[in-house]
């Protein structure tokens, strides 16, 4: 049997370090066993999936050095590798499940569903929610469907007994069937949910081993049941421990940069990032800390995966990256890498229009261009003091700006301009007063290149990191404060929507 593994990202945002982590383990396992590694794009969520995100994810995986044998761009014998192009297949299998009575049509409207859920919760029952439409006859169901009433297709799930999920790392995990809900397989628009598409594709793509994040353990019973309903052999499951913030919570961008683009932008070497991700749940037999991808493959074995929650700690990554930069690159490679990073024509082309009006001679350039090369800028609580604003107002400006920018789908100077102006208005502050702490947080100076276009060039992640750093430099936010401010911020937005 040829080992075939896959990584199956959903293209709904920036490329996440967790995707590279899972891809790395799948890649190593496949290559260590002479197998194949596949990229599948799980874009069944038509509202949140974008082509831009798909491209960023593919570019980021290539950048770290994980190339796939089959995928949407390189093709392969089991294509298409984008789920949105395979919907007929899922519909066929949903129909097959309906015909075999392994699934049923659910005609509950969203309001009715909420009602059933509320009643179920109020009853104090500890089991998965019942569904009135699981009881109706096939004729009744056909008649309702023929009348044009919208429906979703849900899978039938046993109400008693235990499902045993065998996990390569954890052994047998027992989950009671009465805890497993009657999962929607096909949505009312005819698109599959993750669960159906994932099982159908893993089977059709000949995936032998599924290595994925442990957040999917609770979905495993549904998947195993679907394999059983279809009469297919299930792949071997292996759930990798989740990456965590230093405070042990699940790695999240609110506490830690999570986008691969951020690490690229900060000047981490792809080899070092991959090396660090490799050390998250795995170690070399000789415990050596620095290793490259081929060495990891050579020594890879699942037995060396440890289940303790691995902590993604940027300080440790810094140290590791430093060893790579200092020890592993020849002078020529060093130069090439710096050029590739940010001293190249593409990047300079973006920066020049902003710095040109400010210089008289070349030696003025570093002062104005530094903020485009730096990571976090040098600021203190004093330097962030802004005329007309109390210290807490400054923090609030920074914090509200962060939230306003987080809500943007387009990251352009124009969109940033709109979001920040609106925030200033909501806070009832003159634009000049509002922008003053932002200038300092981003550039370290009172005056710098035009803010909106500067942020557009710096990118989301570095912008977020500098704003968060500025807040922390004055005074870190407590969880309580954050919740209170977020409520106030949401209320401002809401009152604006009502006025508008």
Catalytic residues: 253
Taking CA atoms, 191 is separated from 187, 227, 277, in Å, by 5, 19, 34
Shortest CB 357 distance to ligand GLU, Å: 44
Stretch that binds ligand GLU, among 4-12, 124-132, 136-144, 283-291 (CB under 6 A): 4-12
The residue among 8 and 17 lying less far from ligand GLU, judged by its C-beta, is 8
Helix (H, G, I), strand (E, B) or coil at 440: helix
Helices (H) and strands (E) in the chain, counts: 20, 9
User: How far apart (Å, rounded) are the C-alpha atoms in residues 122 and 306?
Assistant: 41
Shortest CB 202 distance to ligand GLU, Å: 8
The residue among 154 and 212 lying less far from ligand GLU, judged by its C-beta, is 212
The residue among 233 and 298 lying less far from ligand GLU, judged by its C-beta, is 233
Q: How many residues bind ligand GLU (CB under 6 A)?
A: 8
User: How far apart (Å, rounded) are the C-alpha atoms in residues 348 and 344?
Assistant: 6
Q: Does 257 bind ligand GLU (CB under 6 A)?
A: no
The residue among 9 and 437 lying less far from ligand GLU, judged by its C-beta, is 9
Structure tokens, 65? 């050095």
User: How far apart (Å, rounded) are the C-alpha atoms in residues 342 and 310?
Assistant: 31
Stretch that binds ligand GLU, among 2-10, 132-140, 354-362, 380-388 (CB under 6 A): 2-10
- What strands lie across the sheet with 152-155, from one edge to the other? 103-106, 152-155, 184-186
Helix (H, G, I), strand (E, B) or coil at 306: coil
Stretch that binds ligand GLU, among 3-11, 173-181, 315-323, 442-450 (CB under 6 A): 3-11
User: How far apart (Å, rounded) are the C-alpha atoms in residues 130 and 120?
Assistant: 8
The residue among 18 and 444 lying less far from ligand GLU, judged by its C-beta, is 18
Residues 6+ apart with CB under 8 A from 232: 203
User: How far apart (Å, rounded) are the C-alpha atoms in residues 289 and 87?
Assistant: 45
Residue 449 is given by DSSP the state S
Shortest CB 3 distance to ligand GLU, Å: 16
The residue among 8 and 274 lying less far from ligand GLU, judged by its C-beta, is 8
Which H/E stretch holds residue 20? helix 17-32
Shortest CB 252 distance to ligand GLU, Å: 15
Question: Which one of 216, 341, 411, 485 is in contact with ligand GLU (CB under 6 A)?
Answer: 216
Stretch that binds ligand GLU, among 7-15, 125-133, 164-172, 486-494 (CB under 6 A): 7-15
* Contact assessment for residue 371 and residue 464, using Cβ atoms and an 8 Å cutoff: no
Structure tokens, 119? 């009643």
Q: Are strands 209-213 and 162-167 parallel, antiparallel or unpaired?
A: unpaired
Shortest CB 110 distance to ligand GLU, Å: 24
Shortest CB 9 distance to ligand GLU, Å: 5
Which residue carries 């922390």 as its tokens? 472
Residues 6+ apart with CB under 8 A from 391: 381, 385, 474, 475
Q: Which of residues 32-91 bind ligand GLU (CB under 6 A)?
A: 42
The count of other CB atoms within 10 Å of the CB of residue 147 is 8
User: How far apart (Å, rounded) are the C-alpha atoms in residues 259 and 262?
Assistant: 5
The residue among 223 and 396 lying less far from ligand GLU, judged by its C-beta, is 223
Shortest CB 171 distance to ligand GLU, Å: 20
Which residue carries 């009643």 as its tokens? 119
The residue among 207 and 273 lying less far from ligand GLU, judged by its C-beta, is 207
Q: Which of residues 111-170 bind ligand GLU (CB under 6 A)?
A: none
Which residue carries 């792949």 as its tokens? 235
Q: Does 227 bind ligand GLU (CB under 6 A)?
A: no
The residue among 199 and 351 lying less far from ligand GLU, judged by its C-beta, is 199
Residue 161 is given by DSSP the state S
Question: Which one of 3, 4, 5, 9 is in contact with ligand GLU (CB under 6 A)?
Answer: 9
Residues 6+ apart with CB under 8 A from 195: 155, 183, 185, 219, 222, 223, 226
Q: Are strands 236-240 and 209-213 parallel, antiparallel or unpaired?
A: parallel
User: How far apart (Å, rounded) are the C-alpha atoms in residues 290 and 418?
Assistant: 45
Shortest CB 213 distance to ligand GLU, Å: 6
* Contact assessment for residue 155 and residue 105, using Cβ atoms and an 8 Å cutoff: no
Question: Which one of 3, 4, 5, 10 is in contact with ligand GLU (CB under 6 A)?
Answer: 10
Stretch that binds ligand GLU, among 5-13, 87-95, 114-122, 238-246 (CB under 6 A): 5-13
Q: Which of residues 179-208 bind ligand GLU (CB under 6 A)?
A: 194, 198
Q: Does 212 bind ligand GLU (CB under 6 A)?
A: yes
The residue among 209 and 468 lying less far from ligand GLU, judged by its C-beta, is 209
Structure tokens, 139? 């004729």
Question: Which one of 3, 4, 5, 8 is in contact with ligand GLU (CB under 6 A)?
Answer: 8
Contact footprint for ligand GLU (CB under 6 A): 8-10, 42, 194, 198, 212, 216
């Amino acid at each position: 049997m040829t080992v075939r593994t896959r990584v199956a990202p959903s293209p709904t945002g920036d490329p996440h370090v967790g995707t590279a982590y899972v891809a790395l383990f799948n890649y190593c396992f496949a290559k260590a066993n002479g197998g194949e590694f596949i990229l599948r794009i799980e874009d069944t969520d038509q509202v949140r999936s974008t082509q831009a995100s798909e491209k960023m994810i593919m570019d980021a995986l290539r950048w770290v050095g994980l190339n796939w044998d089959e995928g949407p761009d390189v093709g392969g014998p089991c294509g298409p590798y984008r789920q949105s192009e395979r919907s007929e297949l899922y519909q066929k299998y949903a129909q097959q499940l309906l015909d075999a009575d392994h699934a049923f049509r659910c005609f509950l409207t969203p309001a009715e569903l909420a009602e059933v859920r509320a009643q179920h919760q109020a009853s104090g029952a500890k089991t998965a929610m019942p569904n009135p439409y699981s009881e109706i006859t096939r004729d009744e169901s056909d008649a309702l469907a023929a009348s044009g009433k919208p429906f979703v297709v849900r899978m039938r799930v046993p109400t008693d007994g235990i499902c045993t999920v065998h996990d390569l790392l954890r052994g047998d995990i027992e989950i009671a069937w009465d805890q497993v809900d009657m999962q929607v397989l096909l949505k009312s628009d005819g698109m599959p949910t993750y669960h159906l598409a994932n099982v159908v594709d893993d089977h059709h793509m000949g995936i032998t081993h599924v290595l994925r994040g442990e957040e999917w353990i609770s979905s495993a019973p549904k998947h195993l049941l679907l394999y059983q309903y279809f009469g297919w052999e299930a792949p071997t499951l292996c759930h990798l421990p989740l990456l965590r913030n230093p405070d042990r919570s699940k790695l999240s961008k609110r506490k830690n940069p999570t986008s691969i683009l951020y690490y690229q932008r900060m000047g981490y070497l792809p080899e070092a990032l991959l090396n660090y991700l490799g050390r998250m749940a795995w170690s070399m037999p000789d415990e050596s800390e620095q290793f490259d991808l081929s060495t990891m493959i050579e020594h890879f074995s699942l037995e060396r995966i440890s289940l303790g929650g691995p902590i993604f700690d940027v300080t440790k990554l810094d140290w590791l990256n430093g060893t790579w930069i200092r020890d592993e690159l020849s002078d020529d490679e060093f130069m090439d890498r710096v050029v590739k990073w940010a001293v190249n024509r593409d990047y300079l082309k973006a920066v020049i229009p902003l710095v040109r009006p400010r210089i008289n001679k070349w030696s003025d350039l570093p002062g104005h261009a530094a903020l485009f090369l730096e990571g976090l800028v040098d600021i203190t609580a004093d330097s962030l003091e802004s005329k007309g604003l109390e210290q807490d107002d400054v923090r609030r400006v920074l914090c509200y700006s962060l939230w306003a920018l987080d809500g943007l789908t387009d990251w352009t100077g124009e969109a940033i301009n709109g979001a920040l102006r609106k925030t200033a208005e909501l806070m009832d502050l003159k634009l000049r007063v509002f922008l003053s702490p932002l200038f300092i947080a981003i550039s370290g100076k009172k005056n710098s290149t035009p803010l909106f276009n500067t942020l557009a060039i710096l990118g989301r992640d570095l912008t977020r990191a500098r704003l968060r750093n500025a807040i922390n430099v004055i005074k870190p936010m407590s969880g309580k404060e954050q919740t209170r401010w977020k409520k106030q911020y949401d209320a401002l937005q809401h009152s604006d929507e009502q006025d508008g």
